[in-house]
Chains A and B, each alone.
Chain A
Amino acid sequence: MKALVCDDSILVRKKFKELLTKIGFGTLLEATDGEEAVRIYKAQQPDIVFMDIIMPKKTGLEALKEIRAANPNAKVVMASSVGTQSHLKEAVDFGVYDFLQKPIEDAQVLKIVSNLANGK
């Protein structure tokens, strides 16, 4: 399994990497902004993307839109503390796979990954 973690915080990327490695992801890709995320997604086609919303260059929502345009089956999870109504609505409109409320809790990530593995 291949995951892409996109967050401008080195700490959040580190926490995600530690957890996803423990869960058994073989390949972990990293992006620090939305632009890089789109580029890496198109080149590597990961099984799942964990995406922050507030990022430099391109926001997570813009990146989600472009990734889903490139692959309508892309599984993109938005991970943010800024779950305002307009963000949630926009993310749903763009075809978000799931949401994670920051600070990230291991159990939340495990549930999403097991749903993905079970084809839900």
Chain B
Amino acid sequence: MFTQFFGSYLLNNHLVTSEQLAQALELQKKVHVKLGVLAINAGYMTAEQVDKLHKMQMHTDKRMGDLAVEMGYMTPDQVNELLTSQKTGYLLLGQALVESGCMTNGQFAIALDSYKRSAKITEAEFADEKAASVRSVISDFYGFSLAGTKGDLYADYVSLLLKNIIRFIGDDFTLLPSSTVQLHACKQAAIQVIKGSEQIFTAIEASNDAFTAFASRYAQERFTENDEYVKASVGEFLNLHNGLFAVNTSNSLAVELDLEPQDYESDKILNGFKNLFIVPIGFPFGTVNFLLSGELPE
């Protein structure tokens, strides 16, 4: 999830536009992380050194690693270490941003460094899905601590949601800032109420195109029009996620939750909420809003 927060950091600091980020998220599936980006990330080379080697490569038929050793920037062991290291997602995103001309190597190096300094937890902690710190970062990012007694519930819900999105939809998304509203106009929405000792309103809402693209990802089928299958697919993802949330909650907190059948709405204003959290997630195909309220609408 380090990547998703990194994308969000770039957006919030106006280092890229949402269009550039969407393009880079799409492009990152095709790019390979180059040695220069890995070396910057590891602190073995500066962005200036990488740029210099790129220029040298235009005039000589030598590999980046060989040139770096020749110039004394890296040892052969460091080159080997980088070539065999795991290529993490945020480096792919960085590579995509550099390749698409949104950023230079230097700008990427500065952004990555500032991000790592400002991130409250490390990449390794993010990799540990059970780390309480991940939940806490998510809670801070979305301001769930301001939601009073429901804050913990929201943090648990969204932590699991992000994992399920990575698992069933894809990891090419960015977390966008959330908002709290009393009403929300929706184009297309799959809705489900979780009931039991907690009453939770949940929904997935998006434009027609983003709704259809999200459905296609989940069903692993190519839907072209917004039909019954599209609604069923988005509804099924919501049902699956809510089901897993109910199971987790009943196992860990001994709180029994049950689900109502999913419902669908289009071109409707959802209202009557005291506080409806809108959690937007940016995908290459558009933004999908996840709606959440710990109180049912009046």
- Select which of A9, A11, A56, A84 is within 8 A of B246 by beta carbon: A84
B240 CB-CB contact with A under 8 Å? yes
Instruction: Tell me, in angstroms, the Cα distance from A56 to B192 when the chains sit together.
Output: 12
Contact mask B243-277 → A, CB, 8 Å, 1/0? 11011001100001111111000000000000000
Q: Which of B51-59, B66-74, B117-125, B230-238 contacts A (4 or more CB under 8 A)?
A: B230-238
B219 CB-CB contact with A under 8 Å? yes
Find chain A residues with CB under 8 A from B241 CB. Answer: 81
Determine the residue in chain A with the shortest Cβ distance to B235.
A9
Find chain A residues with CB under 8 A from B262 CB. Answer: 8-9
Taking the closest CB of chain B, its distance from the CB of A81, in whole angstroms, is 3
In contact, B250 and A84 (Cβ under 8 angstroms):
yes
Determine the residue in chain A with the shortest Cβ distance to B232.
A11
Instruction: Tell me, in angstroms, the Cα distance from A1 to B168 when the chains sit together.
Output: 32
Contact mask A1-22 → B, CB, 8 Å, 1/0? 0000000111110100000000
In contact, B229 and A54 (Cβ under 8 angstroms):
no
A85 CB-CB contact with B under 8 Å? yes
Contact mask A65-88 → B, CB, 8 Å, 1/0? 000000000000000111111100
B202 CB-CB contact with A under 8 Å? no
In contact, B247 and A84 (Cβ under 8 angstroms):
yes
Instruction: Tell me, in angstroms, the Cα distance from A9 to B232 when the chains sit together.
Output: 5
Instruction: Tell me, in angstroms, the Cα distance from A102 to B232 when the chains sit together.
Output: 14
A55 CB-CB contact with B under 8 Å? yes
Known: A11-B219, A103-B168. A54 touches B250 (CB 8 A): no
Size category of the A interface is 10 to 19
Instruction: Tell me, in angstroms, the Cα distance from A102 to B250 when the chains sit together.
Output: 18
Find chain A residues with CB under 8 A from B232 CB. Answer: 9-12
- Would you give 21 A-B contacts (Cβ < 8 Å), ordered by A? A8-B261, A10-B229, A11-B219, A54-B239, A54-B243, A54-B260, A80-B243, A81-B240, A81-B241, A81-B242, A82-B246, A82-B247, A83-B247, A84-B246, A84-B256, A86-B256, A102-B236, A102-B239, A102-B240, A103-B168, A103-B236
B228 CB-CB contact with A under 8 Å? yes
Counting chain B CB atoms within 10 Å of each CB, the highest count among A10, A14, A81, A102 belongs to: A81
Instruction: Tell me, in angstroms, the Cα distance from A76 to B219 when the chains sit together.
Output: 25
Taking the closest CB of chain A, its distance from the CB of B203, in whole angstroms, is 16
Instruction: Tell me, in angstroms, the Cα distance from A82 to B242 when the chains sit together.
Output: 8
Known: A10-B232, A11-B233. A81 touches B257 (CB 8 A): no
In contact, B261 and A55 (Cβ under 8 angstroms):
yes
Taking the closest CB of chain A, its distance from the CB of B143, in whole angstroms, is 29
Taking the closest CB of chain B, its distance from the CB of A19, in whole angstroms, is 14
- Select which of A9, A11, A12, A82 is within 8 A of B259 by beta carbon: A82
Determine the residue in chain B with the shortest Cβ distance to A56.
B261
Beyond contacts A81-B242, A82-B258: 6 other A-B pairs, Cβ-Cβ < 8 A, are A9-B262, A11-B229, A81-B239, A82-B242, A84-B246, A102-B239
In contact, B247 and A11 (Cβ under 8 angstroms):
no
In contact, B228 and A10 (Cβ under 8 angstroms):
yes
Find chain B residues with CB under 8 A from A83 CB. Answer: 243, 247
Counting chain A CB atoms within 10 Å of each CB, the highest count among B228, B241, B261 belongs to: B261
Instruction: Tell me, in angstroms, the Cα distance from A10 to B236 when the chains sit together.
Output: 10
Counting chain B CB atoms within 10 Å of each CB, the highest count among A10, A11, A86, A103 belongs to: A11
